[in-house]
Amino acid sequence: MESQLAHLKEDVSNRGFELNEKHVYIDEGYSGAKLERPGLDALRDGAADGEFQKVIIYSPDRLARSYAYQVIVIEELNKYGCDVIFLQRPISLREFY
């Protein structure tokens, strides 16, 4: 987990983005098989409130275990104007449709 977080922070810096530590969302101890998780809920709330424009995630399985849940969350984040970037194994919603 720590190495993934370090990789994410390095990528954010390399892209020239600013990272507010309050926008680091971790669901340690919660299963990615569920959509109800404190960190994911906070991410979704922050997106709905317009707190950021980009969401960088290590890999799709860090967002959710099932592809259907990944699509639901990505579409929701996009609806709020957030671009979703995966560092490992990027997916495209076009694959789904």
* C-alpha to C-alpha distances, 24 to 4, 7, 54, 68, 96, nearest whole angstrom: 12, 13, 12, 23, 28
Nearest to residue 69, comparing CAs of 33, 42, 31, 93? Answer: 33
The residue-averaged pLDDT of 63-74 equals 92
pLDDT in tens, 22-67: 999 998 888 888 889 999 999 999 999 999 999 999 999 899 999 9
- What single letter denotes the amino acid at residue 14? N
Please say whether the beta carbons of 96 and 61 come within 8 A.
no
Choosing among 3.40.50.2000, 1.40.20.10, 3.90.550.10, 3.40.50.1390, the CATH entry for 2-95 is: 3.40.50.1390
Please say whether the beta carbons of 65 and 76 come within 8 A.
no
Write down the domain spans for the chain.
2-95
